Amino acid sequence: MLRYFLLCAALLAVACNSDKPGGIPGPSPEPSGKDIVDQVSQYDARPFDGEKRAGVFYEIYVRSFADSDGDGIGDLNGVTAKLDYLDDLGVAGIWLLPIYTCDSEHGYDVIDYTAVNPDYGTLADLENLVAEAHKRKIRVILDFVPNHTSHYCPWFVEACKSAGSPYRDFYHFSQTAKPGWIAVPSGTTDWFYQGVFDRSMPDLNYGPAASCEQSGAFVALTDAAKFWVGKGVDGFRLDAVKHIYDSDTSDENPTWLGKFYSELNAHFQGKSALGFKDIYMVGECWMATEQMAGYYKGLPALFDFTAWADRLLYAIQNDHAKWFPKDMIAEREVFAAERPDFIQATKLSNHDESRARTEVGGSHAVSLQRCKMAAAVLLTSVGSPYIYYGEELGFFGDKTEKGGDRNVREPMLWKP
């Protein structure tokens, strides 16, 4: 921990005299390129020695990463073709954004949890990707969506037809028009369903958290996840874990997550091609430190959004690092109180955020040096680091501008 403090202090030491704990000053004047060069030591890249350190994961949006057949859409075979590139980077794991059949570009409206999106290839292509990744000692984890399905999912289609459908309890239905609920489009049209994110993504219903493992939806989801474990997949990134139950501060979501993890981990035993004892499972939990900590009761790993990444980028952008190391050490103590062996998944940006280089200065001359500084902290401090594809090349991308998500999910550049 002392090494972490000294590293952050050395990399982020700046001229800031604020004595207010956690104080956030106004933006400082832009330093010149020479100022940044003077503050950050410059090193020539050294050849990779083949030893993968820190268990670095690499996040891939398959649609935009690599196109193997020239149809203009990235695919699984394209990812496989670039595994040597990832291996040379020292990547120890890849996280694939949703690869299932869906009705969108983003893929989070899953139609079939055990079918590969035909735009991306076939099940055989996925199995080949996993096998080739394992040859390079690279783990493969899939994005998994436990909160909702597509409205085209056969479970939902059948559930709408009749109040007596065996899939009726898979979702939240009511004959009362509750705020935000959506009218059933066909079948039992005098009913309404819950779809917090969008009408095209009805929320799954697991019943009381204490007995959720008995629900049809829970069994179906775990069976789907077990299917992928059987195909060699090493784990999952769980989407929107704070939304599975309506109250994100109750113990319901951590309870559900703990049962899901336990069920899958028991199934995973003895199946790891790389010799790992436990399945890897990390949750997307966009919450403040104190609220997020409780989710470690359910999962061993969580992404840290509001504390680690936001504060690091702010510190670098605004030359204000006085409280960053202290705050991060305090945060880890909060997490450890809930789960001593917690895994803090760290990153600079991902598919839902503006690119890190844009956040720290965009096209300004100093932004590249700031990104190098941020990467140095990411890759040498505590936690399990993730790199979003293209980040290693200094990609720009502003989600707040016209185009939104597409601005941060642009095609990978394989040629100058």
Catalytic residue among 67, 87, 252, 284: 284
Residues across the chain: 416
d(CA 186, CA 207): 24
DSSP string, 22-63: T--PPPPPPPPHHHHHHHS---PPPPP-S---TT-EEEE-HH
Angle at 159 between CA 161 and CA 201, to 5 degrees: 115
User: For residues 247 and 275, what is the distance between their CA atoms, to the nearest angstrom?
Assistant: 37
* Residue found under tokens 């060699």: 232
15 burial via Cβ count (<10 Å: 0-12, 13-18, 19+): exposed
Find the radius of gyration of the CA atoms of the chain: 22
- Residue 239 catalytic? yes
DSSP, collapsed to helix, strand or coil, labels residue 240 as coil
Catalytic residue among 239, 248, 263, 331: 239
Angle between helices 310-317 and 367-380 (to 10 degrees): 140
Which amino acids are annotated catalytic? 239, 284
